[in-house]
Structure 1
Amino acid sequence: MPRKSKYSAKEKYKILMEHENGMRVINRICHKYGIDRATFQIWRYKYNKYGIEGLRVLKANKKYSKELKEKAVKEYLSGESSLNEIVRKYEISSKSVVLQWITRYNSHRELTATGKGMNKSMTKGRTTTWKERLEIVLYCKR
């Protein structure tokens, strides 16, 4: 599913240039355009690293290997790096992606390469009949 952004790459560039040209301070720019300061910082980082291409919205989610996910999670949990450092170091799309991996890792679910589907952390139970389900409900209501 394609992503949507409130601002195009050109609009993001114009917003960044307001600060670069000394027209406004970051807090006023963020307030004016209704963006978070962290979002502004991410745009600035991507622009400085990749130019205007870095400001474009990706048409699909990035894919990450199992090894990269594990390395990033362990590096964060060990206290070796902050979320921002990990996102920049491994070129991960956002901090929320890393936080999802951490949640998955901490709940003892396997980190898999992106695109291989969901793994269930629980084993498959047996099928129950309607009568068994009714007995379970009545037992729990006691």
Structure 2
Amino acid sequence: MSTKTYSYEFKKDIIEAFEKRECTISEFCLQYDITEISLRKWIEKYERYGVESLQRSTTWKPYSKALKEAVVLDYLSGKHSQYEIVEKYEISSRGVLQKWINKYNHHRELKDTSKGRTNSMTSKRNTTWEERIDIALDCLKNGKNYQETATVHQVSYQQVYQWVKKYEDGGEEALKDRRGKKKQEEELTPEEIVSRQMKKLEEENERLRAENLFLKKLEEIERRRK
């Protein structure tokens, strides 16, 4: 799978072509070599904020501590999916929400986001194997938006790019740190196995919720076309 970036003009043309299409969504995405996830994100932005929202923003959007806590508690209530929470509170991405949830669940303080911070300030940092897996999967689920993923996880663009490529080529094992003396791998504890299974189940549920939300959006567009 090759890495791709999409220009503002390309995304605008895709939206116009989608409104005039005479094929299924899968056929449309295959024809233009894009993912359904990317298409859904572009349509949602276009429907909510207009064509100018398809332009890429590199600024770090500030959020208050109070807002972060309210968002996390709303999601944990079980009434909304992550995609619905992101839309409801106008959060920049689902990856940002996931980071807040992870901090809250690990009893780490949610702090105010400093204003004026940009992606260019993000530098390389040391990461664990589990972190690298999570970051690579997050980037793939977000249509390979390397810069956004780097900002959310506070790592460099190059790190994210390399981890995604390694994951695609060799899976989770390829993300292990091979530098220095090779250490014997410890087996997962029963608690870690259950935690990983629960995480996979949650991701699958989110995927299904996202698909249902996407279909509802498309049905609305179809009704407006008639």
TM-score (norm 2): 0.46
Structure-1 residue corresponding to 2:197: none
Identical-residue share of aligned pairs (%): 43
Aligned length: 113
| 2:21/2:28 contact within 8 Å kept | no
| 2:75/2:81 contact within 8 Å kept | yes
Structure-2 residue corresponding to 1:74: 73
Structure-1 residue corresponding to 2:64: 65
Structure-2 residue corresponding to 1:95: 94
Structure-1 residue corresponding to 2:114: 115
**What is the CA–CA distance in structure 2 between the aligned matches of 1:50 and 1:97, rounded to whole Å?**
20
**What is the CA–CA distance in structure 1 between the aligned matches of 2:27 and 2:62, rounded to whole Å?**
35
Report the CA distance shift for 1:32/1:63 in structure 2 as closer, same or farther (over 3 A): farther
Tell me how far 1:47 sits from its aligned partner: 0.5
**What is the CA–CA distance in structure 1 between the aligned matches of 2:93 and 2:31, rounded to whole Å?**
23
The 5 Å alignment of 1:1-142 reads 6-115=5-114
Q: Find the structure with the greater CA-based Rg.
A: 1
**What is the CA–CA distance in structure 2 between the aligned matches of 1:114 and 1:53, rounded to whole Å?**
25
**What is the CA–CA distance in structure 1 between the aligned matches of 2:60 and 2:30, rounded to whole Å?**
29
Q: Which has the higher helix share?
A: 2
The CA RMSD over aligned residues, in Å, is 2.0
Please give the secondary structure, in 2, of the residue aligned with 1:109.
coil
Q: Which amino acid aligns with 1:80?
A: K
Tell me how far 1:11 sits from its aligned partner: 0.8
| 1:19/1:25 contact within 8 Å kept | no
**What is the CA–CA distance in structure 1 between the aligned matches of 2:33 and 2:98, rounded to whole Å?**
24
Report the CA distance shift for 1:112/1:44 in structure 2 as closer, same or farther (over 3 A): same
| 1:19/1:29 contact within 8 Å kept | yes
Q: Which amino acid aligns with 1:72?
A: V
| 2:72/2:101 contact within 8 Å kept | yes
